[in-house]
Structure 1
């Protein structure tokens, strides 16, 4: 590949201090992907539970949860992330900051998944098998757990897959502004 036998091979070159850029990119990608996956997993839990409750019960519960979603979605994302991330004390270790930023991003990012789950649950609630389960005396938690959530799984997976890049971009934006993850992470 054009290097001497004893010279190190840097696939993406090296920085001014002679450190391999490729290994630094791999290390940074590992952190970003883990924030994306963990954050989307937490958002998936919040959104599935609250969206399922909202779509199944309707009425005041639905109205309350939908107004909460609308309030969270009405704030501009980046300033809200910045305000919450800037409130983290600088004395915390990088690992605690990592988990708190993941939690902040997932507490704000569950709204899209919650709306998707609500719509699907409202549609599936009108299906014949759900009505049969209601007429046979099945409990609400059984109907949600065994009929509605499995019926919505494909949509939930698609929404979660689309949310991973958004979560990674949010974390990267905070780090770029200096209020996200700090070196050495």
Structure 2
């Protein structure tokens, strides 16, 4: 039997392993595109070492995308944890989780007798996911190198 901390760590590891490939594919495409840009080729022609090119030219162009992507991935992780806890595969009682609160509120007798109990955890999940999406959109607008011109 796994403890709730172990279950949470397992959820984080599994969702991270599943979602890293999309980010890696986009970052690889950006790096290959940046490698062909004139400022990188000029630095190469001047004899810049590969580590210098990465730190000085490539990383600053991709760092904002990594931060934005991480911010936009958080809502998916929140929903995954909530759904797994709701169906009993995530964090278990008595530890707090929005999925646990939803599972308690979705008991048939509670839905009939106290239907208002399902709204607080559902609204909090929606507001948190919306807040992270808005944060990611704001960061994208603020950190996008193309819009800074």
What TM-score results when the alignment is normalised by the length of structure 1? Answer: 0.46
How far apart, CA to CA, are the structure 1 residues paired with 2:82 and 2:53?
A: 40
Q: Where in structure 2 are the equivalents of 1:1-185 lying within 5 Å? A: 91-185=1-95
How far apart, CA to CA, are the structure 2 residues paired with 1:134 and 1:98?
A: 45
**1:172 shift after superposition:** 1.3
Q: Which has the higher contact order (CA 8 A, sep 6+)?
A: 1
**1:141 shift after superposition:** 3.0
Q: Which runs of 5+ in 1 are unaligned?
A: 1-90
CA contact (8 A) 1:113 1:159 kept: yes
Q: Which runs of 5+ in 2 are unaligned?
A: 96-149
| SS of the residue 1:158 aligns to | helix
How far apart, CA to CA, are the structure 2 residues paired with 1:167 and 1:158?
A: 15
| SS of the residue 1:137 aligns to | coil
**1:103 shift after superposition:** 1.1
**1:139 shift after superposition:** 3.0
Structure ranking higher in helix proportion: 2
CA contact (8 A) 1:124 1:130 kept: yes
How far apart, CA to CA, are the structure 2 residues paired with 1:183 and 1:146?
A: 49
Q: Considering only aligned residues, what root-mean-square deviation do their CA atoms show, in Å? A: 1.7
What TM-score results when the alignment is normalised by the length of structure 2? Answer: 0.56
CA contact (8 A) 1:117 1:152 kept: yes
How far apart, CA to CA, are the structure 1 residues paired with 2:94 and 2:46?
A: 58
CA contact (8 A) 1:116 1:156 kept: no
